[in-house]
Amino acid sequence: MEPKDVEDRSRRRLLVALGSLGALWAAAGLYPVYRFLSPQPPPDPFGKQGKAVVEKISPAEVARPGMGKNGGYAGRGLIVFRDAGGQLKAFDAKCTHAGCNVQFQGAKLYCNCHGGTYSLDGTNIAGPPPRPLTELRVFEENGLLYVARPTGSKAASHG
User: Which residue number, 51 or 97, has a Cβ lying nearer to ligand FES?
Assistant: 97
| Euclidean distance between CA atoms 157 and 41, whole angstroms | 9
| Euclidean distance between CA atoms 127 and 37, whole angstroms | 36
| Euclidean distance between CA atoms 4 and 33, whole angstroms | 44
Q: Does 71 interact with ligand FES (rule: CB under 6 A)?
A: no
Residue whose Cβ sits closest to ligand FES:
116
Q: Does 72 interact with ligand FES (rule: CB under 6 A)?
A: no
Residue 115 C-beta: closest distance to ligand FES, Å? 6
Angle at 82 between CA 112 and CA 135, to 5 degrees: 60
Binder of ligand FES out of 97, 120, 133, 134 (CB under 6 A): 97
Q: Are 121 and 142 in contact (CB under 8 A)?
A: no
User: Which residue number, 113 or 125, has a Cβ lying nearer to ligand FES?
Assistant: 113
Residue 110 C-beta: closest distance to ligand FES, Å? 9
The residue range among 48-56, 62-70, 126-134, 148-156 that interacts with ligand FES, by the rule CB under 6 A, is 126-134
Q: Are 72 and 81 in contact (CB under 8 A)?
A: no
| Euclidean distance between CA atoms 108 and 124, whole angstroms | 10
The residue range among 27-35, 44-52, 82-90, 107-115 that interacts with ligand FES, by the rule CB under 6 A, is 107-115
User: Which residue number, 109 or 145, has a Cβ lying nearer to ligand FES?
Assistant: 109
| Euclidean distance between CA atoms 156 and 153, whole angstroms | 9
Contact residues for ligand FES, defined by CB under 6 A: 95, 97-98, 100, 111, 113-114, 116, 127-129
